[in-house]
Structure formats: structure tokens, C-alpha cells
Amino acid sequence: MTTEMPRPLPVDQLRQRCDPKQLSRAGQQLHAGSSLVGQDRGLSALRLAVDIRHADFNLFVVGPEGTGRHTAVQEILKERALSRETPEDLAYVNNFDEPRKPVALRLPAGAAERLKAEMVRVVNDLANDIPELFESEEYRTQRRIIDEEFGTQQEEAMADFTNRARAEDIALLRTPMGFMVAAIRDGHVVKTEEFNKLPEEDQKVIEEKIARFQDELQDVLAKTPKLEREHRNRIEMLNGEMAKRAVSGRIDEARETLGDAGAAADFLSRVHDDMVENPELFLQAKSERPDGPFPEVSGKAHLEPLFRRYMVNVMVGHQPAAPEGAPVVVEDLPTFDRLVGRIEHVSQMGSLVTDFTLIRPGALHRANGGYLVLDARRVLSEPFAWDALKRSIKEQSITITSLAERVSLFSTTSLEPDSIPLDVRVVLVGDRFLYALLVMLDPDVQELFKVQADFEENLGRNDETLGQMALLLHRYAEKEELLPVTPDALACLLDESSRLAEDATKLSLRLGTITDILREAEHYSRANDRKEVLRQDVEQAVTERDRRASRVRDRVREAITRQTIMIDTDGKKVGQINGLSVYELGRFRFGRPSRITARVRMGTGKLIDIEREVELGGPLHSKGVMILSGYLTTTYACDMPFSLHASLVFEQSYGGIEGDSASCAELIALLSALSELELRQDVAITGSVNQLGQVQAIGGVNEKIEGFFDICAERGLTGDQAVLIPAANIDHLMLRERVTDAVEAGKFSVIPITTVDEAVALMTGVPAGARGDDGTFPENGVNARVEARLREFAAMRKSFASRAAAGDEGEQR
């Protein structure tokens, strides 16, 4: 039975072309509010994470860059955020009992800024009112009365003591060392000489009086500190009463101004008590304040360090006049400090000090009550940031710590602010590989991020999706204020989208790349003074993008054209074939032919992959070569030992080789070397092969075909040149028009194959031949020649082994 040979593909199968007329009709089915198409799975997961009330249903968005992940996340979050209540304000205030532990206030939306502003006014007002009150005549009169009362009590006690002592001829004397008592006679103090001349009995009487009155003097003097304390207490009470008169009224006004501000009332009460207890702060500030042209109206007392204790450090504030809904925070630099906040320090007298006014908020504070969007890779790359994020989510609170203290860089006076309850939905955006690594290495990930939103790379291509993508690009052009885009230009963009998807039945959802092409095309349109973007502008943008990145490709082609790299595109050779490979430089890929050669001889069944032997072949390439060995050993001469020694190599390859897409070419080169049939050099081939001899699909088929075509075109197209591709890759063809034009003109061909037998028949011009019912291959077919050669090797090996055994026996005799 003769198998029909594969035919070259017609032009309409080499490239899909979008009909511009279809775009306007099908695009109307797209909902007006949608900004993404083909991402139903990811958007559904995103909406679940946004709407569900449970705290641990945080979201991990995965997918390739450029698919609109960030845009979709932010749009949906902002839409949902508007329907939620504005969260509470957050602020830190002084802890008057323990300043190292600032107190966190949670206030109604908008109240934090009002409280802060009101405290500034309170301090500024009292900075004038309290000193004026203490300078008033009323205060001076009451102070004088207290001072006089204290002075009178002291004088009366000393006068009473003095009178009693004088009545007994004892005087009270003031000396540099203090008070003392002494005997007097005739109004004069008795001196030591006079005292010694007195009778002994008189001396004893005087000594007894002096001792008694000295003790009484000590009792009188001992009461003085008590009187002084009572005096101070009276003064403090007076000061407190006077300060309370000013403070209470002003604090009451503040309460009325703030209204129902929750925790603000407790804070104002503590401020009231502290101001009443410490009016000297205002007096000290007054004494230190320089007198200006208007000393009574400074208005900036709140800036003085003495009054920081009464200020309010607003961490997060909102504007209640214009409801904001829940916050949506996107943190592009998620360092430890920018996530959980930080405590700043200032230098004073050579030391680093801080207070509650130097606490700064982080992204978690700003997003509290709403949503926080983070790039997963950036979070993981910042020291301590990932652990801090997980800890905050687990504990549902934000604890601000000093990173310097944590890593023991230096010791400073720091703070221990109150933890703030956390209610936030965290959205991490990353790629699939990173997500897989996290799931494998960090057990917390699946517990904390229970929802995975997987964004698609491609979308099925049909009339509806083409229209949807066209409308999406129209909206993008309007948003970016680009020139209008013609239907022909849109059709060209959509065809390029299929090219990017590497599938003619798909559209790429890497919208970033498509919109980059559109913006570049618009630039060329403006440069040519056009009023709209035409198809030729899009084609120019695509061409220029390739040209900018094609230096290496052009040098490789030049080397092939000059025969520096030896590639034949005509004639026939035994055991030599043109395989096709793809090189990738960033986002630019290009194909190039590679000469693959095979050599065979009798051996012990060893197939040498030279690339693997020198460690230039990757594991997938080595796997492909081992599959060849499996195909050969199970297809030919199965009843005899496999007696082949073969070597395979990519000629002039000096770098690593990976992938199995050349395994079909390598197998055909081996079959050519075994059958001694020549292979066409004007035909290149790509495809992987399995142990059953079936040709399987490969990647980069468009670039591979174009790589060989460009070499042939450089040397001159003959009409016989062709590329063999797996039939499974037909749907992936989106070739450039330079190739399709040549095919249409009959100067080049693309031929699909499904089996190795089809490929070897096309390359040698000799049918492969299928094994018949009698177990043999048709005579003179490629397979028959291969099997005969392998049997010949087996016979030679047997004969050689017999001769070697006979020689050994003769030597032993």
C-alpha cells in the first residue's frame, strides 16, 4: 500500500488575517464597563477575595506580566471600595503616665485632623491666657495673702520663743551658722570670761536654761519645713485653681467643637489634668519666648518642644466632607519601614532621642479598613518585610518596631507604641513560578492567601473576541489621547496579537506589548502628519521593534551567508541535515538553521550525543537523543543485538543546547547515515519525535521557518526550498508576509508531517516503507536499507567476536 505524501500548506493556513469589517459588529457585545477580556477565571477569584468577609481570604494574583493584572486589581478594588464605609482615623498621642508607650487613638473619619488642629489652637490660646492669668492682680493678691500668712506664722512662733526666752534672761541670736541661744545680764550677752567667773551654782542654772531653750528652738525650727510645705501646697493649689479656671473653659470649648469624637474625650480629659498639674510649662515658655512686635499674639506656641506632649500625631486621616470609601493603597516600595511604619529619631546633645510625634505610618496603616496591593517579588526582596507582613496578617494588628534595634545596629532610646487593630485585604501580585516556590517553601502562604486569581495568557480567537479586543484597544487609544485607529490598523494589531500568542487560534492577552506597538505606531503616524493610525504605521512599528533588537540575528545571518557558519541550502548529503532552533534575547526571538551530522559504524549499541558528552546539551535535549535510541532499537532488527556505534553533533555550536525540537532531524540524519541515502539540503526540518516514530509539536515554529527562509532568500529562492514542520503546529502558524508572499508565488513551501517515515521520504526522495505482514520492509525502501545495515553490523560484530575468541584459544594452547 502506498502512503500519500504530505502536501505543502496553502497560504491561508500559514497566517490568519483578521477581517476589519467584522470588528465593529462583534465588538458591540462587549459590556461597556469592562476593561479586560478573557480573564473570567481571574476576575471571579478577585471578586470573591474582595467581597468575602473572612479575614484570611487574602488574594494572590498570578500570571505573566503585561496581562493587565495590576489594572484589573486596582479597578475592581476601587469599585468595591466606594461601596464600603470610610474607616476610622488613626492617631498617636502622649501617654502622660508612661511616655515610652504612646497611646493609639481610633477616631471617627475626619476627627483626627480636627483634633490635631484643635489641640494646636488650645495650646496657642493657653500659652497666652495662663501667663496673663498669673500676672493678674487677683493672682498677685491671693499669692501675697498666702505669703503673708506663712510669714506671720513663722514670725509669731519665733516671737513667742524669743519672749519666753528673754523672760528667763536668754537671748536668740542669728549667726552665720544659724540660730543659737545665749544668757544675758543687764541687756548684754554673757561672754565666756564672765560666765567662768560666775558661781558654779549660777553656771548650772544658766546651762540648764540654755539646754532647755536650745531644745525648744529646735522644735520651733523643725516646724519651718512643714510650714514651707504647707506654703508650697497652698501656692500649688492656688496655681492649680487659677490654671483650672483657664484650662477647663478652653477644654470645654474644644469638646464642643469636636462633638462626639469617641476617644478624643478621654484624651482631652487627660490633657486637662496634665495642664492643670503643670501650669509652669506655660510660664516657662512665656519666659523663654522672645518679645516681638506683637508678643501677646505669637500663634506658634505649639511648635515649642515643651508643648509636644499635647500634640496629636495623625497616622491616617480622612475627609468626611467628601466620602472616600475604603482606601486602596498600592505600595511600590514595600520595605519593612514602609509596610509597618517607623520610629524616627533626632539628635540632641549627641544622643538620638524620639517621642510619639516622630512615629510615621506604613502602608498597612494607610490601607487599614480597605485594600493593600503589593508586588510579591518586591516584598520578598526587602529584608524583614515578608515576615512583618505575615505577622501583621496573622495577628490582625500593626506593631511598630525599630528595625535598627531589631538587628542591633545601635542602642537608642525608643518607643513601644500601642498596637493598632488591622482590618485589611492584602493582594499580592506575582508570577506563577514565584507562587509555586512560595507554596512549596512557606506553609503560611496557603493559610494567609487562600484565594488564587490566575490570569490567562491567551484568549480563543473568534469573531466575538476579535471585536472585544478591538473595542478594548479603541478605549485605550481614547484614554491615552492617541490618534484614531483605523479598522485595518486594528486588524493588523490583532494579527500581531496571535503572533505573540504563538497560536493562530488564540489572541495574546499580554496587552502591555500590544499597546506598546499601538503607541509606537501612533508616533509614526504623527511623524507623517496623518490624522489617524493606519495599517502601515502598525507594520512599521512591528518592523522597527524587530530591527532594534536584531543585531545578533543579523550577524548570525551574515556569518551563514559568508560560509563562516556552514549551512547548505542546495544539493544533497549523507548523514547531514538542517535542523532549526530558536534563540531568545530578552523578548526578541529569532530562528536559525543548524547543521546536524551523524556518523555510524559497527559497535556495541552505543549512541553518543556529543553535546551531552561535553556538557553542552541540556536534560531535555539529552532526553530527545535517548528517545532516538529507543526508536531505533525497537523498530529495526529486533531479533538481533543492537550493534551500532553512532555519534550526533550540532556542528559549529559553541554554547548550550536545550530542548528536543531537533530530535526528528537527528533521527533522520542517523537513518540517512545508516541507509547511505542522501538528504536534501534545501529542506530544513523541526519537530520532536517519540519512540513510536510520531512527530510532535514544538515551540517557536514561526521564527524557525522564517530563520531558514531568510537564509534561502539571501542566497536566492529556487522554489524547491521548504521547511518540514509537525502537523500539530499548523494552528500555530502566523508567518510574516515576506514568507507568505514567497509561498504564494511558488518560491517556498511549508510542509506538515506526522511521522518520521513521511519526513525521511521527503528528505531522501525514497519511500520509507512500512513493515509488511511477513515482518519485512519493502525492498529498497529507507527502512529496509537501515535494517539491512544494522543486520550487517550485527553479523560483523558476531564474526569479530568469533575471531577474537579463536585467537584467545590459540594463545592459550
- Active-site residue, 704 included: yes
Instruction: Say whether pLDDT at 398 is over 80.
Output: yes
Least confident window among 186-190, 328-332, 491-495: 186-190
pLDDT(60) > 80: yes
Per the model's pLDDT, the better-predicted residue between 235 and 375 turns out to be 375
Which region, left, alpha or beta, applies to residue 419 given φ > 0 means left and ψ of -120 to 50 means alpha? Answer: beta
- State the angle between helix axes of 756-764 and 782-812 in degrees (0 to 180), rounded to the nearest 10: 90
- The mean predicted confidence, pLDDT, of the chain is 82
- Of 3.40.50.300, 3.30.1280.10, 3.40.50.1820, 3.20.20.70, the CATH number of 58-87+325-448 is 3.40.50.300
Q: Which of 498, 503, 523, 524 is nearest to 513 (CA)?
A: 498
DSSP alpha helices (H): ranges in 589-662?
A: 610-613, 619-635
Task: Give 304 or 684, the one with higher predicted confidence.
Answer: 684
- Give first-to-last CA distance, the chain, whole Å: 58
Distance CA 813, CA 807 (A): 10
Q: Residues 18-29: pLDDT tens digits? A: 888 877 554 444
656 or 709, greater pLDDT:
709
Q: How many CB atoms lie within 10 A of CB 177?
A: 6
Q: Is the pLDDT of residue 363 over 70?
A: yes
Residue 224: closest CA among 142, 163, 161, 141: 161
- 631 Cβ contact partners less than 8 Å away, ≥ 6 residues apart: 667, 689, 690, 691, 692, 693, 756
**Residue 30 DSSP class:** S
Match 559553541 to its residue by C-alpha cell. Answer: 654
Give the model confidence (pLDDT) of 27-39 as tens digits. 444 444 445 676 7
- Among candidates 359, 355, 362, 414, which has minimal Cα distance to 391? 362
Residues 6+ apart with CB under 8 A from 102: 92, 93, 94, 95, 313, 356, 359, 415, 417, 418
Question: What average pLDDT does this structure show over 101-110?
Answer: 89
Residue with cell 554673757: 190
Phi then psi for residue 440, to 5 deg, are -75, -35
Mean pLDDT of 171-188: 66
Catalytic member of 286, 390, 506, 704: 704
CA distance 643 to 646: 10
Element (H, E) at 644: strand 644-650
pLDDT tier, 196 (very low <50, low <70, confident <90, very high otherwise)? low
CB 760 within 8 A of CB 598: no
How buried is 487 (Cβ within 10 angstroms: 0-12 exposed, 13-18 middle, 19+ buried)? middle
- Segment 192-206 mean pLDDT: 70
Instruction: Report which DSSP code applies to 6.
Output: P
In this structure, are residues 279 and 244 in contact, taking their beta carbons and an 8 Å threshold?
no
Mean pLDDT of 236-256: 80
Instruction: Look at residue 421 and give its three-state secondary structure.
Output: strand
- What confidence category does residue 83 fall into, taking pLDDT thresholds of 50, 70 and 90? confident
| Predicted local confidence at residue 408, as pLDDT | 59
d(CA 23, CA 20): 6
Tens digits of per-residue pLDDT, 608-653? Answer: 655 565 555 567 667 767 777 778 888 887 877 877 888 888 888 7
In this prediction, residue 324 carries a pLDDT of 72
Q: Domain 16-57+455-548, what architecture?
A: Orthogonal Bundle (1.10)
Longest Cα–Cα distance in the chain:
166
Residue with the bigger pLDDT between 63 and 381: it is 381
805 band by pLDDT with thresholds 50, 70 and 90: low
For residue 550, what are the contacts with CB-CB under 8 A and spacing of at least 6? 588, 590
d(CA 376, CA 709): 43
Confidence of residue 231 (pLDDT cuts 50, 70, 90): low
Mean pLDDT, residues 517-534 taken together: 94
- In this structure, the chain runs to a length of 813
**Which among 247, 297, 298, 278 is positioned nearest to 133, based on CA atoms?**
247
Q: Say how far apart CA 383 and CA 403 lie, in whole Å.
A: 10
671: left (phi > 0), else alpha (psi -120 to 50), else beta? alpha
| The pLDDT of residue 5 | 80
Q: Are 81 and 326 in contact (CB under 8 A)?
A: yes
Instruction: Give me the catalytic one of 298, 525, 661, 688.
Output: 661
Question: So where are the chain's domains?
Answer: 16-57+455-548, 58-87+325-448, 97-323, 565-795
Q: Which of 68-72, 598-602, 719-723, 786-790 has the lowest mean pLDDT?
A: 68-72
Q: What is the pLDDT of residues 687-713, one digit of tens each?
A: 999 888 899 999 899 999 999 999 999
Instruction: Please list, residue by residue across 404-423, b when 16 or more beta carbons sit within 10 angstroms of its beta carbon and e when fewer do.
Output: beeeeeeeeebbebbebebe
Least reliable range by pLDDT among 126-135, 475-484, 562-571, 719-728: 126-135
For 356-424, strand residue ranges (E) read: 359-360, 371-375, 397-398, 420-421
Instruction: Report the relative pairing of strands 59-62 and 451-454 from DSSP bridges.
Output: parallel
Confidence category of residue 346, pLDDT binned at 50, 70, 90: confident
Active site residue 479: no
- Nearest-angstrom CA–CA distance, 225 and 213: 20
Provide the pLDDT confidence category of residue 413 given band limits of 50, 70 and 90: low
Lowest mean pLDDT among 233-247, 395-409, 533-547, 797-811: 797-811
pLDDT at 292: 47
Per-residue model confidence as pLDDT tens digits over 283-335: 777 666 655 444 444 457 667 878 888 899 999 988 766 667 888 999 999 99
Q: In angstroms, rounded to a whole number, what is the distance separating the alpha carbons of residues 763 and 723?
A: 10
Mean pLDDT of 30-54: 69
Share of the chain above pLDDT 70, in %: 81
So what's the pLDDT on residue 26?
A: 45
CB 400, CB 343: distance < 8 Å: yes
Structure-block grid coordinates of residue 7: 502536501
- Contact at 8 Å (CB) between 46 and 73? yes
Is 254 within 8 Å of 122 (Cβ atoms)?
yes
Percent above pLDDT 90 for the chain: 33
Reply yes or no on whether the pLDDT at 177 is more than 60.
yes
The CATH number of domain 565-795, selected from 3.40.50.740, 2.60.40.10, 3.30.230.10, 3.10.28.10? 3.30.230.10
- Contact, 639 vs 776, CB < 8 A? no
What number of other Cβ atoms are within 10 A of residue 113's Cβ?
17
Q: Provide the grid cell at 219.
A: 522644735
CB of 256 closer than 8 Å to CB of 106:
no
Pairing mode, strands 606-609 and 644-650: parallel
Q: Are 525 and 483 in contact (CB under 8 A)?
A: yes
- pLDDT higher than threshold 60 for residue 813: no
Instruction: Return the minimum-mean-pLDDT range out of 104-113, 193-202, 261-270, 422-431.
Output: 193-202
Asked whether the predicted pLDDT for residue 194 surpasses 80, the reply is: no
What's the mean pLDDT in 195-207?
Answer: 70
Average pLDDT over residues 744-766: 94
pLDDT in tens, 135-171: 778 777 877 777 666 666 666 666 666 777 666 667 6
